[in-house]
Structure 1
Amino acid sequence: MGRRQEWIATIAALALLSPAPAAAQRETGINPAQQRSMLAIDAAVKDGAFGSVTSILVARNGQLLHERYFDDGGAEERRNTRSLTKTVTAMLVGLAIEQRKLSGVGAPVMPFFADAAPFAAPDPRKDAITVEDFLTMSSILECDDDNSFSRGNEERMYLVEDWVRFTFDLPVRGFPAWSRKPEDSPYGRAWSYCTAGVSMLGAMLERATGERLDVFAGRSLFAPLGIVGAEWQFAPTGFAQGGGGLSLRSRDLLALGQLLLDGGRAGGRQVLPQAWVREMTTPHAHVDDSRGDYGYLTWLPQITFRGARVQAFGMYGNGGNKVVVVPAARLVAVITSTGYGQPNAHALSERLLTEHILPSLVD
């Protein structure tokens, strides 16, 4: 029997399981048929039907409904979720503003790096780059990770030692006739995915707070959430990489998603300012018609829930890694995966969420 036939046989066997009692359904928010469906999903993931998924966690109304691991590390494994780190960096920017170590999103970034100046191709427009420009992936720098020809592509940055100089040496971005200028774009910002800019936010936070980014994060964000043992990556010159590579447990990712869902509150305290959560999850730039809007280093997709299009918040990382918050369903879903560089990895994770996890919910 082939693997596909074995998978079909497994799903058929699971369909014969006795339904859970009604009391259990009310307690979990998942109906008996969909409990069997979640078990079928687990079987399909193990068979590779959804790529290289390593964990699935689902919580509703703050209650953990489903938790499965598909690698050898289990619940304590710190998984490298790549650019999910960017949303964590946005949270840290908000905390630095709250602690008055940063004046606000309108603060220019270049003065924090005056010791590294002068940079190549000086231009007053580069001097005017703000924190918000990097938070919204819309700075004037020619930086586009989705374009292999871009001078600011992150893979080029990793080849050099000084990431600060690499970033601020970039030329000013051009807007040929076939591209949309900022003034013609939704929200007045022309979006392009730029890891280098977010890396500068991490370096800037270290200069603004006087602490290494990992220390500031541990004290101000992670400790109140019970997150320990976070594993950061570092630039060759020593600063923590705010643009990607942070490894956390899947339950830690769930806690971060729940923090967004609960308006910054956790454990009876306001960990992240509620106003900052609103700013993070408010549209500030438009990605494209298929991916929707973008907040402060937070994706803002619209997804289908019970036949209607509803707003969601997303923390995404290369390889199909996702933390998705669906306020209309009071849901947080974590999907981790090691499908790095695979073009369909995000699509597979989205199918897992929209075609299987969301339909399993009942009131």
Structure 2
Amino acid sequence: MQRNAPRLATLILSLATTLPVAAQPVRPPFDAARIAALESAIASQEIKQVTSVLLMVDGKVAYEGYFNGATADTLHDVRSASKSVTALLIGAAIGDGSLPGVQPKVYDYFPAFTARHPVDPRLRATTVEDLLTMSSLWECDDENAFSAGHEERMYVSEKWLDFALSLPVKGFAPWMTRPQDSPHGRAHAYCTANSFVLGAVLERATKMPLADYAAKALERPLGISASHWNRSPEGIGMGGGGTRYRSGDLARLGELVRGGGRWQGRQLVPAGYVQAMLSAQARTNDGSDYGYQWWGLKLPVDGRQQTVWTMSGNGGNYVVVMPEKKLVAVITSSAYNRSYAHPQSRRILTEFLLPALR
């Protein structure tokens, strides 16, 4: 198996230093044996298709390793972890005044569509926050192959925006939980069309292509010089998946969130918005909390189940933010559509990285 030499770094390098950093010996209290065990598991393919692991502690690189042909310059396709970046961009747009908050009505941004199509009043009431929390009334569920709004149906349509805005109102079968009976008053259904329309709203609100606004609002201020954003067939930025970043730059995004939206003295995203983004706004089918396009996973930490906030994407791609431990972890993986992808990435965090800090 092709793999690059691991990069071990001391806790003396700050994010002010351009990532990635040169390899250095690990110093106490970091447990190098745990990292050696992780590298052995990756080398033996006990842990498969992981391409990078990067751990930041208190803003400094604690560990950085690249595997399976990846390097520090690899742009990783983080799939749906892109949704969490889109959520950050919504916050940035609120901060700079492009959006007046999370309550604007989504359909108001698309008058050309509403002039041509009658829209159910219940859908006309859809807010930006409804999309952020995956709790719109669109009949859209990526986990249900029969759903009218399933993402694969959107991808093969010519006009993704019309596809999403034309979705019917969701019905609730007797065995389904209605919004008023759901945790936090929201019936959650994972729907990539929600995130795509958020990107379209951003383009209308900022009067900029999504990739350009991302560069202006987040990437350039964070020192991110390379990224890739996909676009729909009609040219709208894809806020729902497929964005590509280097591992070190994913760590910068995580550090921005850990800092409450503040980076090197500049508030890029309002602190109150970041707090709401990392708060339980809905409950997913697997029992996880869901904020604003961020997952509150229930994971074993320090001997008990705790909520761990993450960006999460197909293949096991994660950016984990744990402010209470001053920690950001990045795990990239190309195990797309593999059943083992997410469990093994969570295992990297809970069985190797966190214990290495004890």
TM-score between the two structures when normalised by the length of structure 2: 0.90
1:13 aligned partner: none
2:297 aligned partner: 301
CA contact (8 A) 2:26 2:32 kept: no
Q: Which residues in structure 2 correspond to 1:306-321 (within 5 Å)?
A: 306-321=302-317
1:324 aligned partner: 320
Does residue 345 of structure 2 align to residue 344 of structure 1? Answer: no
CA contact (8 A) 1:121 1:171 kept: no
CA contact (8 A) 1:119 1:168 kept: no
CA contact (8 A) 2:316 2:342 kept: yes
What SS is found at the alignment partner of 1:87?
helix
Does residue 268 of structure 2 align to residue 268 of structure 1? Answer: no
Name the CA distance, whole Å, in 2 between partners of 1:152 and 1:167. 7
What SS is found at the alignment partner of 1:74?
coil
Residues 25 and 248 of structure 1: is their aligned pair in 2 closer, same or farther, counting only changes over 3 Å? closer
Name the CA distance, whole Å, in 2 between partners of 1:26 and 1:65. 8
CA contact (8 A) 2:34 2:355 kept: no
- Post-superposition Cα deviations, 1:71-127, rounded to whole Å, max 9, x if no partner, equal 324001111000111010001111111111111111000011111235666310111
CA contact (8 A) 1:143 1:151 kept: yes
What SS is found at the alignment partner of 2:167?
coil
Give, as a single letter, the amino acid of the residue that structure 1 aligns with 2:145: S
Residue of structure 2 aligned with 1:80, choices 63, 77, 82: 77
Residues 82 and 119 of structure 1: is their aligned pair in 2 closer, same or farther, counting only changes over 3 Å? farther
Name the CA distance, whole Å, in 2 between partners of 1:306 and 1:272. 30
Residues 119 and 138 of structure 1: is their aligned pair in 2 closer, same or farther, counting only changes over 3 Å? farther
CA contact (8 A) 1:281 1:298 kept: yes
Q: Which residues in structure 2 correspond to 1:280-291 (within 5 Å)?
A: 280-288=277-285, 290-291=286-287
1:237 aligned partner: 234
Name the CA distance, whole Å, in 2 between partners of 1:121 and 1:78. 42
Does residue 180 of structure 2 align to residue 193 of structure 1? Answer: no
Name the CA distance, whole Å, in 2 between partners of 1:133 and 1:127. 12
Name the CA distance, whole Å, in 1 between partners of 2:274 and 2:97. 17
CA contact (8 A) 1:322 1:335 kept: yes
Residue of structure 1 aligned with 2:36, choices 20, 35, 39: 39
Residue of structure 2 aligned with 1:101, choices 94, 98, 102: 98
Question: How far is 1:291 from its partner?
Answer: 3.8
Residues 119 and 132 of structure 1: is their aligned pair in 2 closer, same or farther, counting only changes over 3 Å? farther
What SS is found at the alignment partner of 1:160?
coil
2:207 aligned partner: 210
Question: How far is 1:25 from its partner?
Answer: 10
Name the CA distance, whole Å, in 2 between partners of 1:36 and 1:76. 27
Name the CA distance, whole Å, in 2 between partners of 1:58 and 1:218. 24
Give the 4+ runs in structure 1 shifted more than 6 A.
Answer: none
Name the CA distance, whole Å, in 1 between partners of 2:154 and 2:344. 29
Q: Which residues in structure 2 correspond to 1:51-90 (within 5 Å)?
A: 51-90=48-87
1:8 aligned partner: none
CA contact (8 A) 1:311 1:327 kept: no
Q: State the Cα RMSD in Å.
A: 1.9
- Post-superposition Cα deviations, 1:9-50, rounded to whole Å, max 9, x if no partner, equal xxxxxxxxxxx9xxx9995541xxx30220221121122212
Give, as a single letter, the amino acid of the residue that structure 2 aligns with 1:305: V
Give, as a single letter, the amino acid of the residue that structure 1 aligns with 2:329: A
2:329 aligned partner: 333
Question: How far is 1:224 from its partner?
Answer: 1.2
2:114 aligned partner: 117
Judging by fraction of residues, say which structure has more helix: 1
Name the CA distance, whole Å, in 1 between partners of 2:75 and 2:287. 28
TM-score between the two structures when normalised by the length of structure 1: 0.89
Give, as a single letter, the amino acid of the residue that structure 1 aligns with 2:56: A
What SS is found at the alignment partner of 2:158?
coil
Name the CA distance, whole Å, in 2 between partners of 1:119 and 1:27. 64
Q: Which blocks of at least 5 consecutive residues in structure 1 are unaligned?
A: 4-19
CA contact (8 A) 1:310 1:328 kept: no
Q: Which blocks of at least 5 consecutive residues in structure 2 are unaligned?
A: 2-9, 11-23
Residue of structure 2 aligned with 1:135, choices 132, 136, 143: 132
Q: Which residues in structure 2 correspond to 1:218-257 (within 5 Å)?
A: 218-257=215-254
CA contact (8 A) 1:311 1:326 kept: no
Question: How far is 1:270 from its partner?
Answer: 1.9
Does residue 148 of structure 2 align to residue 151 of structure 1? Answer: yes
Highest CA radius of gyration, 1 or 2? 1
2:15 aligned partner: none
Give, as a single letter, the amino acid of the residue that structure 1 aligns with 2:84: T
